[in-house]
Amino acid sequence: MRTDRNANSDARVVDSVIRSRRAVRAFRPDPVARHVIEQILEVASCAPSNSNTQPWRVDVLAGPAKSALSDVLKQAYEENRHPPLTHMPEVLPEAMRRRQEAFGAAYYGVLGVPKHDVQQRARVTARNFDFLVRQWA
């Protein structure tokens, strides 16, 4: 039977995982074992969804298939054929806009990309389509 004491220690683990998570923007090229991916997907399948619609379908690509997808996505991005970014309102509330600006200054600052260098910024964004495997240089 589950006790409050066990529940508290589970909660502490969850808190610790959430507090230590961070965005990772570069990955080693080492392949991830199939069983690890299957475990991750099995856990992810427990995620809640609106009205339990489970509106996801997962395709896992590796090797040449992944590289081919990267190439197609990058080309679409460069030709401005990628879908619009719908996760941000067009006009951000002021507090959010300031956070976004501070983030941009820190992020592009570390990469040595000047604020108004649109081409260099686009190169940074294009790395998303390599799934951030290659190093920024």
Please name the amino acid found at residue 113. Answer: V
* Upper half-sphere CA count for residue 103 (Cβ side, 13 Å): 7
Q: Which is nearer to ligand FMN, 67 or 128 (CB)?
A: 128
| 47 near ligand FMN, judged by CB under 6 A | no
Q: Which is nearer to ligand FMN, 37 or 111 (CB)?
A: 111
Q: How far is the CB of 103 from ligand FMN (least distance, A)?
A: 5
Distance CA 120, CA 114 (A): 8
Is residue 14 helix, strand or coil? helix
Distance CA 94, CA 101 (A): 10
Q: How far is the CB of 32 from ligand FMN (least distance, A)?
A: 20
Q: Considering only the stretches 2-10, 19-27, 44-52, 57-65, report the one whose residues sit in contact with ligand FMN under the rule CB under 6 A.
A: 19-27
| 128 near ligand FMN, judged by CB under 6 A | yes
